[in-house]
Amino acid sequence: MDLDETDRRLLNALQRQGRLSNAELSEKVNLSPSACHRRVQRLEKDGFISGYVALVNPRKVDRKTIVFVEITLRAQADDVLDAFEKSVARIPDVLECHLMAGQADYLLKVVAEDAEDFARIHRRYLASLPGVQGMQSSFALRTVRQTTALPV
């Protein structure tokens, strides 16, 4: 399914304010409430909208430290990659895990209370990940830009 300009306006509005009522959304994108509701349902059904979430302020839940961890594996065999991915998916402090091209095999985005908490996460989880040959951690000093809104 191709997106038309109205679909794009709907997606942009919902990415910025996911709790808009159908009436508010329809007014924002200049559609009747019934047409707006049908289009949003179609966007959900077709997988353009994969879910709705509340974005929690990490500082309010004492997770103000962000660490990017580059991981290099011993081998690139499917069983090694699968074992690593299954294990990393069970670590609650890992927000993102990306298979990479380049120097590192994986890039993780980890949240922690502080450096001491990251040391705990490292000892308890990261150091025991299967197939790891090397690990390089970089602490974010400040977040300059962060968004969940995709350009559509």
Residuewise pLDDT in 10s, the chain (152 residues): 799 999 999 999 999 999 999 999 999 999 999 999 999 999 999 999 999 999 999 999 999 999 999 999 999 999 999 999 999 999 999 999 999 999 999 999 999 999 999 999 999 999 999 999 999 999 999 999 999 999 99
pLDDT of residue 120: 98
Distance of alpha carbon 80 from alpha carbon 134, whole angstroms: 14
Q: Look at the pTM and tell me if it is higher than 0.85.
A: yes
* Residue showing tokens 């690139």: 76
Question: Around 122, how many Cα atoms within 13 Å sit in the side-chain half-sphere?
Answer: 17
User: Across the strands, what pairs with 90?
Assistant: none
Give me the helices (H) in the chain, please.
5-16, 22-28, 33-45, 78-88, 115-124
pLDDT number for residue 121: 98
pLDDT at 1: 76
Calpha distance 49→121 (Å, rounded): 32
- The whole-angstrom separation of Cα 82 and Cα 97 is 13
Per DSSP, the chain holds a count of helices (H) and strands (E) of 5, 4
User: What CA–CA distance (Å, rounded) separates 73 from 65?
Assistant: 25
The rounded distance, in Å, linking the Cα atoms of 98 and 78 is: 16
Could you give the domains of the chain? 5-45 (1.10.10.10), 65-139 (3.30.70.920)
